[in-house]
Amino acid sequence: MTNGAVPLTQSIAWKALLEHYEAVKGLHMRDLFAKDPGRGARLVCEAQGIYLDYSKNRLTDDTMRLLLDLADAAGLRVAIDAMFRGEKLNVTEHRAVLHVALRAPAGAAIRVDGENVVPKVQAVIEKMAGFANLVRSGQWKGHTGKRIRTVVNIGIGGSDLGPVMAYEALRAYSDRALTVRFVSNVDATDIAESTRDLDPAETLFLICSKTFTTQETLTNAQTARAWCLQALKNDAAVARHFVAVSTNAGEVEKFGIDPANMFEFWDWVGGRYSLPSAIGLSLMVAIGPERFREMLAGYHAMDEHFRTAPFDKNLPVLLGLIGLWYGNFFGAESHAILPYDHYLGRLSAYLQQLDMESNGKRVDRGGSVVNYQTGPVIWGQPGTNGQHAFYQLIHQGTKLIPCDFIGFCRSLNPMGQHHDLLASNLFAQTEALAFGKTAAEVEAEGVTPALVSHRTFPGNHPTNTILVEELTPEMLGKLIALYEHKVFVQGTVWRINSFDQWGVELGKVLAKRITPELTSGTDPDLRHDSSTNELIRRYRRFRRMG
């Protein structure tokens, strides 16, 4: 799939980009736009209702050609086909990578080890729909016969970030008679604050965990169980107030949840790719099965676009290659995601896990340490709030931070001038970042000489603008799939496995060793480093007992 014989940085395509970088690194977007009036209309890609303007980047047509050559040389086409065919691309866990099967239409055939998985995916969606309708209609009663008013999703990482992000994003489409809350942190404050005003008789817990062994989730689930049973005083209440979403039926049963109340998914779905699986159950309860299916259709439309569009008109490919241009050649270390829509307040956090857990890798698929940058730090906040917090550093700091601006032409809450003000801020920011303000322009405004350098904006800060008509469930599915596949593009070029996450293991193992050292009645024989030993001793001195 990749030309493993030649190190990536020695490949013809990489070296050509390096040489090209030396030639274009000094170009300023001011000049690129001035010399080429058609640039803003040409360096765009429109597909699936998404308009991507990538003209405000430090690149030329030649850059794009060379980046596309790199994608070809990386075997991207072969890799895409292999993923959609169900090949075991997750080589360290020997698993297929088939989140695309979760949104394939009924009737499609996608095979894992010879089995067409689409019928079982569809069966789970049907089961979810039946359950969601019962809860939404009030037919699903709690133990005392009351209807459910609040659904609490307990999960962490991929079993939390996707559902909470999408629930917030699609708030406008949700049933306001029901509230969904999300508990993830093992810090008791999370569950305590999330349940303190709730009536257990009207509360339903969805325990979401791919493995059903995650310490945080199981601890929160036990606490929720105790909270519920303390009020309802009957173990039989668990069946009406607890539902599980997992790949691990055995552990679900051990916890005491009836397997009939379990919604299944499979090991070929990565946690951070699991929102369109049963992990999205809380979202389906909130927005209803029909809207959830619209979201799946959006995902699928983007999957098909990614699978079939030529690379120079392929949204995930373009976003992936442009990101790589800055990370590998300009040395950019982070990438900001800036949605201009309040409903997308959790999008950056969601994409943070998607991207950083996938491409935060230091060895290639064969296990050799790489000598080039892989995944960037992903971060961001919705506009316009971010403008009054961290944009200063992007405009005038010393770091190069490529940004994705995501905006909508219509608001779901059209009120007065709000939306036009929001949109004008988005456009103004990308304009200011690209073109800045020269010292001459500042001087011409009559600014005192001592302040000229302070008030000069260098510009040449790269941005992509993703402009869409309106935020709908379908569009949300498209946007998420766009970023999923962008991550795939980059991981493929970097020759890494984007689908494992061994890096989170060591901390988990060490925490398990430390817990008894914090709680034991007698002084433990501490054998950590001197810093960790001292911290543990101090904690033991001041911790509250019991």
DSSP code for 475: H
Tokens of residue 387, six digits: 């403008």
CA distances from 19 to 12, 32, 102, 275, 490 (A): 11, 19, 42, 41, 21
Task: Name which of 242 and 405 has its Cβ closer to ligand F6P.
Answer: 242
Q: Are 203 and 148 in contact (CB under 8 A)?
A: yes
Task: Specify whether 517 is catalytic.
Answer: no
Question: How far apart are CB 356 and ligand F6P at their closest, in Å?
Answer: 11
CA 158, distance to chain mean position in Å, is 8
Q: Are 285 and 137 in contact (CB under 8 A)?
A: no
Cα(72)–Cα(490) distance, integer angstroms:
12
Tokens of residue 29, six digits: 């977007």
Q: Are 219 and 236 in contact (CB under 8 A)?
A: no
Q: Is 159 in the site for ligand F6P (CB under 6 A)?
A: yes
Cα(449)–Cα(442) distance, integer angstroms:
9
Q: Are 339 and 425 in contact (CB under 8 A)?
A: no
Write down the catalytic residue from 35, 388, 445, 505: 388
Build a one-symbol-per-residue string for 309-348: x at contacts with ligand F6P by CB under 6 A, - elsewhere: ----------------------------------------
Q: Is 358 in the site for ligand F6P (CB under 6 A)?
A: no
Question: How far apart are CB 255 and ligand F6P at their closest, in Å?
Answer: 13
Instruction: Tell me the window of 157-165, 320-328, 447-455, 534-542 that interacts with ligand F6P (CB under 6 A).
Output: 157-165
Cα(87)–Cα(112) distance, integer angstroms:
8
C-alpha gyration radius of the chain: 25
3-state secondary structure 428-463: HHHHHHHHCECHHHHHHCCCCHHHHCCCCECCCCCE
Coil vs helix vs strand at 467? strand
Question: How far apart are CB 162 and ligand F6P at their closest, in Å?
Answer: 9
Amino acid identity, residue 403?
A: C
- Residue of the chain from 156, 164, 301, 487 that contacts ligand F6P (CB under 6 A): 156
Q: For residue 378, give the nearest of 408, 357, 409, 361 by alpha carbon.
A: 357
**Between residue 502 and residue 541, which ones bind ligand F6P under the rule CB under 6 A?**
504
Question: How far apart are CB 154 and ligand F6P at their closest, in Å?
Answer: 10
Write down the catalytic residue from 25, 254, 418, 508: 508
Q: How many CB atoms lie within 10 A of CB 90?
A: 18
- Residue of the chain from 75, 86, 142, 157 that contacts ligand F6P (CB under 6 A): 157
Write down the catalytic residue from 264, 357, 474, 517: 357
Question: How far apart are CB 90 and ligand F6P at their closest, in Å?
Answer: 12
Q: Are 100 and 87 in contact (CB under 8 A)?
A: no
Q: How many C-alpha atoms does 435 have within 13 Å on its Cβ side?
A: 13
Question: How far apart are CB 209 and ligand F6P at their closest, in Å?
Answer: 3
Give phi and psi for 93, each to the nearest 5.
-115, 0
Tokens of residue 503, six digits: 């890096």
Task: Name which of 32 and 245 has its Cβ closer to ligand F6P.
Answer: 245
Task: Name which of 160 and 294 has its Cβ closer to ligand F6P.
Answer: 160
Question: How far apart are CB 502 and ligand F6P at their closest, in Å?
Answer: 10
Instruction: Tell me the window of 89-97, 156-164, 394-402, 533-541 that interacts with ligand F6P (CB under 6 A).
Output: 156-164
Tokens of residue 274, six digits: 């699991």
Coil vs helix vs strand at 407? strand
Task: Name which of 68 and 156 has its Cβ closer to ligand F6P.
Answer: 156
Question: How far apart are CB 183 and ligand F6P at their closest, in Å?
Answer: 13
Task: Name which of 157 and 407 has its Cβ closer to ligand F6P.
Answer: 157
Cβ within 8 Å of residue 307, ≥6 positions away: 80, 81, 84
Q: Is 498 in the site for ligand F6P (CB under 6 A)?
A: no
**Between residue 160 and residue 219, which ones bind ligand F6P under the rule CB under 6 A?**
209-211, 214, 217
Task: Name which of 303 and 357 has its Cβ closer to ligand F6P.
Answer: 357
Task: Name which of 36 and 251 has its Cβ closer to ligand F6P.
Answer: 251
DSSP code for 369: B
Build a one-symbol-per-residue string for 51-90: x at contacts with ligand F6P by CB under 6 A, - elsewhere: ----------------------------------------
Coil vs helix vs strand at 153? strand
Task: Name which of 263 and 325 has its Cβ closer to ligand F6P.
Answer: 263
Give the interface size with ligand F6P as a residue count (CB under 6 A).
14
Question: How far apart are CB 500 and ligand F6P at their closest, in Å?
Answer: 9
Q: For residue 316, give the nearest of 50, 502, 35 by alpha carbon.
A: 50
Task: Specify whether 127 is catalytic.
Answer: no
Task: Name which of 169 and 354 has its Cβ closer to ligand F6P.
Answer: 354
Query: What is the b/e burial string over 341-362, where b = at least 16 CB atoms within 10 angstroms of the residue's CB?
Result: bbbbbbbbbbbbbbbbbbbbbe
**Between residue 265 and residue 304, which ones bind ligand F6P under the rule CB under 6 A?**
271-272
- Residue of the chain from 168, 355, 357, 404 that contacts ligand F6P (CB under 6 A): 357
Q: Is 158 in the site for ligand F6P (CB under 6 A)?
A: yes
Question: How far apart are CB 245 and ligand F6P at their closest, in Å?
Answer: 9
Task: Name which of 9 and 215 has its Cβ closer to ligand F6P.
Answer: 215
Question: Which positions touch ligand F6P (CB under 6 A)?
Answer: 156-159, 209-211, 214, 217, 271-272, 357, 501, 504
Positions marked catalytic: 357, 388, 508
